[in-house]
Chains A and B, each alone.
Chain A
Amino acid sequence: MPELYLRLLDRILTPILLILAVFLFLRGHNEPGGGFIAGLAAAAAFQLQILSRGDEYVRRLIGPYLHPMAGIGLLVAGAAALIGFRQGGFFKGVWASIHLGQLELDFGTPQLFDLGVFLVVVAVVTSFLLGLSKSEASEGGEEA
């Protein structure tokens, strides 16, 4: 059901939503946001694509990556938890600071863990969206 006005909206909004997702993810540790919310925002971007360009298009584009992405997300999260053993325990946060001139950036395993959450949420929600919006023409398609 690709509609003209939706395609226009899609041109403008999809990049914004995806950037918003990245933004929400990156600032998540200090401001409202985080992997879960970012994942939902990214899924919303794909939903817009499904509505404007049809599910076939999106399925061809990202369909095969979704389930692997969920698995990789779990692995990333698990790995982040395991790194904690270096500091003496499962899920113990390990942090490192990077200095770029004036800028000091903190990187830690909780953020890596958050990345895992993000991947799982995007993959799972988008795969449900794709599965449910299966058009009649694509019924019996292999990947959702």
Chain B
Amino acid sequence: MQPQPLLLLSLLLLAVSSPLLWLLRPHRFRHVGWVAAIPPALVTAMLLTQLQPVSQGIFLHERYPWSAALGLEIILRLDGLALFFGLIVAGIGAAVALYTGYYLEDHPRQGYFYSLLFLFMVSMLGIVWSDNLLTLFVFWEGTSITSYLLISFEHEKKEARDGGRRALIVTGFGGLAMLAGMVLLGQSVGTYTISDILFTPNLDASPYYGVALFLILLGAFTKSAQFPFHFWLPGAMAAPTPASAYLHSATMVKAGIFLLARLHPALSGTDLWFWSLLTVGAATMLLGAVSAFRYYDLKAVLANATVSQLGFLVMLLAFHSEAAYVAAVVGILAHALYKGPLFLVAGIVDHATGTRDLRRFARLGRELPWVAATAVLAGLSMAGLPPFFGFLAKETLLETFFHHAEHDVPWVGWLGLGVAALGGALFVGYSLTLLWEAFFRREAPEEAAHVHHAPGFGFVFAPLALTLVGTAIPFVLTAVEKPLLTPTASAIAGHPVEVHLALWHGVTPTLLVSLAAIAVGVGFFAIRSALRRLLATTPSWLNGTYLFDRLIYGLYDLAAWSTRTVQGGTLASQASVVLLAAVVALVGALTQVRWPEDLPIDWSAGVYFEEVVLVALAIVAAITTVRAQTRLNAIVSIGVVGITVTLFFVIFDAPDLALTQLLVDILTVVLLVLVFYKIPPQSLPPLSRVVRIRNLVVSVLVGLLGFGLTLFSVGPRFLPTISDYFSLNAVPGGHGANVVNVILVDFRGFDTMGEITVLAIAAVGGYALLRSARLRPRPADRIALNHDSEEG
């Protein structure tokens, strides 16, 4: 093992580049993309040097304390799977960083975009390298947040804001579910270190297995846009194209796939795992593939294609066979290497012609030959045609189902084979549609768009390089197999796996199915207009986005309704709601009190003269307040009530409370005078009968409750009281003789923190209200501000 902390340094390099690129204000430079590509390229190079050691089973392993008090530490571990994903993230990251410099040329917020992109890279690499579930979760949320900010990058547009919000709510919800699942998992195993969890035997016998698996799958499925959460991904296309290519096709949406692969040795092998992944994956694959025909927007087609490919990968991970692991690894790499470039190509076309609408292109291939060549290489790989990388991935999936049909449950195997073949045919159909309509069709159905802004070399270089790598891999399989694919597949399997891939297996049943699927796919291509017409008739309520928005707006309506109902009307009616709620809650608790033995009243204590005087004073002042004919009288009387309470605190030796009460009282009286000074000095209007009765009932109930609580608190307790602990520990533990203060700022400091936070928020709210409310009331407001005589 090498002594340098290479993984941490990589993360730091990218994290530092993020603000630097922002400060650089890169939009002032023409070819800044080449500079921005350096940090991820360096990380890629670092990872490439690790290929050799990792294939021999030597993993980088770094450990850093983070928060010892919470039992958190950052453990980074570079096994086969982490290396594999790291290469995808850093490698494609370099290409996207290069590309962004041209895509957002002259854009004043290019630096902001770069900084988000690099923060995302840090989070994503953190996910794949973490060897601790909780650290993984933190990085996971990091990708959700950067993804949200990137989708909403063009925040002036409504669809960008809506798309970002949908993505954030869906993935955030999934992330929280996943956290719960991870905690269940970690607690039942006794460790949060992933490499330890993976080799815990009999995890599925744990009573928490089902729940934990369900929650973790929620996290993975929301992130990887699986049915029924798939709808956020097409909405995320409002992001600038480099972000779509990078986050929403090549890397972030694979985080869910990564998690499934990462936890595969620990959680897979049960019926629950198999059936959830198989059905969800199959549904997603077919749904996405069919939807891809529906759209004319290049990016929308690609997004739906991505959904379908993700479904395909989830399906693969359902299996517990070596062939499936290999197929998944190949599929992930192939997808990253063709879908990323296709998005980048879509961005170039958009940039060059000003549109992404498939109906407006005619023979674009002539005007953009290099772009078209890239698109063809990548698109045929997406279609899964031989000899491209995508073909290899699809072949292995079909192989897996064949194997399952022959050796395990036949009907599952055959059905799966049918679904996979149908999916493959749809892939061929939409890939051909995309390529044909974008680059080769002679006549555009609508006004044709033309290139007015020819792309430069660096712009086209990024997708072309990625595509060439993807195209070359099937021909140098042996060179890739041993250092990269084998360690990755072994990490998914949890034990060493032998990988033997070949483009040509001879004429096998799989090849025949594959060829049949391609033929059917060409058929789909031929009838694409009919398919589109058919899909255009699907009712809107079947649309995930529509249902989700209904849910969100329903929530808004619910909030508005409850605010109107509970908090509407006057101050007095709101106070009644709050006080009655307190009465109901506390009366429930008081019924548990045994009467009278819990509440012995000690008559022998004696009553002192000053107590009687104060009580009498308080009662008289309270009655005066209620019966006052003018506001000023009421204010003065309520001030008297406050002062008597203060005096009570004084005679019962509570100087802190007395001081506070006194100050609060002074300020309240002054405030009330100030407020009423603004209101015309009319006499108080009479209250309606209903309001008077309500006020009486609430007052009596609250009074009784206070009385009962007081009695109860001086009686013998069920539990030993905590005040002794506070008094004894104030000086040794809190370094203060004033117990009240020590409790406030030390023993119960967290409560106080919450209280002052509420106070500060209330100040902001009050500020807003006072700014908007006209303190000199309009005639209609007077009565409402003043008293609730409108009610009843």
B749 contact from A28, A113, A129, Cβ within 8 A = A113
A37 to B775, CA, bound (A): 29
Asked whether B737 lies within 8 Å of A89 as measured between CB atoms, the reply is no
With A40-B667, A44-B666, A113-B749 in contact, is A28–B760 under 8 Å at CB? Answer: no
Q: Which residues of B721-778 have CB atoms within 8 Å of chain A's CB atoms?
A: 733-738, 740-742, 744-746, 749-750, 752-753, 756-757, 759-760, 762-764, 766-767, 770-771, 774-776
Chain A residues in 8 Å Cβ range of B756: 73-74, 77, 116-117, 120-121
The verdict on A22 contacting chain B, using a C-beta distance below 8 Å, is no
A134 to B766, CA, bound (A): 13
Contact with B along A28-62 (1 / 0, CB 8 A): 11111111110011011001000100000000000
Chain B residues in 8 Å Cβ range of A65: none
Q: In the complex, identify which listed stretch (B258-266, B638-646, B668-676) lies at the interface while the others stay far away.
A: B668-676
The verdict on B24 contacting chain A, using a C-beta distance below 8 Å, is no
The verdict on B659 contacting chain A, using a C-beta distance below 8 Å, is yes
CB of B762 to closest CB in A, whole Å: 7
B738 contact from A31, A70, A85, A108, Cβ within 8 A = A31
CB of B736 to closest CB in A, whole Å: 4
A113 to B744, CA, bound (A): 10
CB of A120 to closest CB in B, whole Å: 4
A32 to B646, CA, bound (A): 14
CB of A110 to closest CB in B, whole Å: 4
Asked whether B767 lies within 8 Å of A131 as measured between CB atoms, the reply is yes
A50 to B774, CA, bound (A): 20
With A24-B659, A34-B740, A117-B756 in contact, is A132–B69 under 8 Å at CB? Answer: no
The closest CB in chain A to the CB of B776 belongs to A136
Q: Which residues of A71-120 have CB atoms within 8 Å of chain B's CB atoms?
A: 71, 73-74, 77-78, 81, 85, 88-91, 93, 95, 106, 108, 110-111, 113-114, 116-117, 120
The closest CB in chain A to the CB of B67 belongs to A85
The closest CB in chain B to the CB of A113 belongs to B745
A73 contact from B675, B746, B760, Cβ within 8 A = B760
CB of B755 to closest CB in A, whole Å: 8
The verdict on B367 contacting chain A, using a C-beta distance below 8 Å, is no
The verdict on B587 contacting chain A, using a C-beta distance below 8 Å, is no
The verdict on B46 contacting chain A, using a C-beta distance below 8 Å, is no
B760 contact from A110, A124, A136, Cβ within 8 A = A124
Chain A residues in 8 Å Cβ range of B620: none
The verdict on A7 contacting chain B, using a C-beta distance below 8 Å, is no
Chain A residues in 8 Å Cβ range of B611: none
The verdict on B664 contacting chain A, using a C-beta distance below 8 Å, is yes
Total interface residues on A, CB under 8 Å, equals 55
CB of B769 to closest CB in A, whole Å: 8
The verdict on B660 contacting chain A, using a C-beta distance below 8 Å, is yes
Chain A residues in 8 Å Cβ range of B749: 81, 91, 110, 113
A123 to B327, CA, bound (A): 63
A117 to B267, CA, bound (A): 49
A136 to B677, CA, bound (A): 12
A36 to B483, CA, bound (A): 65
Chain A residues in 8 Å Cβ range of B750: 81, 90-91
B734 contact from A31, A81, A93, Cβ within 8 A = A93
The verdict on A125 contacting chain B, using a C-beta distance below 8 Å, is yes
Chain B residues in 8 Å Cβ range of A114: 741, 744-745
B771 contact from A43, A78, A144, Cβ within 8 A = A144
With A129-B667, A134-B770 in contact, is A30–B69 under 8 Å at CB? Answer: no
Asked whether A40 lies within 8 Å of B664 as measured between CB atoms, the reply is yes
Chain B residues in 8 Å Cβ range of A14: none
The verdict on B655 contacting chain A, using a C-beta distance below 8 Å, is yes
Chain B residues in 8 Å Cβ range of A131: 766-767, 770-771
The verdict on B581 contacting chain A, using a C-beta distance below 8 Å, is no
A123 to B659, CA, bound (A): 19
Task: Output the residue of B736, B741, B764, B770 with the most chain A CB within 10 A.
Answer: B741
A93 contact from B655, B663, B746, B763, Cβ within 8 A = B746
The verdict on B656 contacting chain A, using a C-beta distance below 8 Å, is yes
The closest CB in chain B to the CB of A85 belongs to B69
A111 to B746, CA, bound (A): 9
Chain B residues in 8 Å Cβ range of A24: 659
A128 to B768, CA, bound (A): 11
The closest CB in chain B to the CB of A28 belongs to B741
A143 to B735, CA, bound (A): 40
With A44-B667, A117-B756 in contact, is A36–B744 under 8 Å at CB? Answer: yes
Asked whether A37 lies within 8 Å of B660 as measured between CB atoms, the reply is yes
Chain B residues in 8 Å Cβ range of A28: 738, 741
Chain B residues in 8 Å Cβ range of A85: 67, 69
Asked whether A67 lies within 8 Å of B763 as measured between CB atoms, the reply is yes
Residues of B within 8 A of A (CB): 67, 69, 655-656, 659-660, 663-664, 666-667, 670-671, 674-675, 733-738, 740-742, 744-746, 749-750, 752-753, 756-757, 759-760, 762-764, 766-767, 770-771, 774-776
* List of 9 A-B pairs having minimum Cβ-Cβ separation, nearest first: A131-B770, A40-B663, A32-B655, A29-B736, A124-B763, A30-B737, A34-B741, A110-B745, A110-B746
Given contacts A73-B756, A132-B775, 20 further A-B pairs with CB under 8 A are: A29-B738, A29-B741, A30-B736, A31-B737, A32-B655, A35-B744, A37-B663, A40-B660, A40-B663, A44-B666, A70-B760, A91-B746, A106-B735, A110-B745, A113-B753, A116-B756, A120-B760, A124-B759, A128-B770, A129-B671
Q: 17 A-B residue contacts at CB 8 Å? A: A28-B738, A29-B737, A32-B655, A34-B738, A36-B744, A40-B663, A44-B667, A70-B760, A74-B757, A81-B750, A85-B69, A91-B749, A110-B749, A114-B744, A116-B756, A129-B674, A139-B775
Residues of A within 8 A of B (CB): 24, 28-37, 40-41, 43-44, 47, 51, 67, 70-71, 73-74, 77-78, 81, 85, 88-91, 93, 95, 106, 108, 110-111, 113-114, 116-117, 120-121, 123-125, 127-129, 131-134, 136, 139, 144
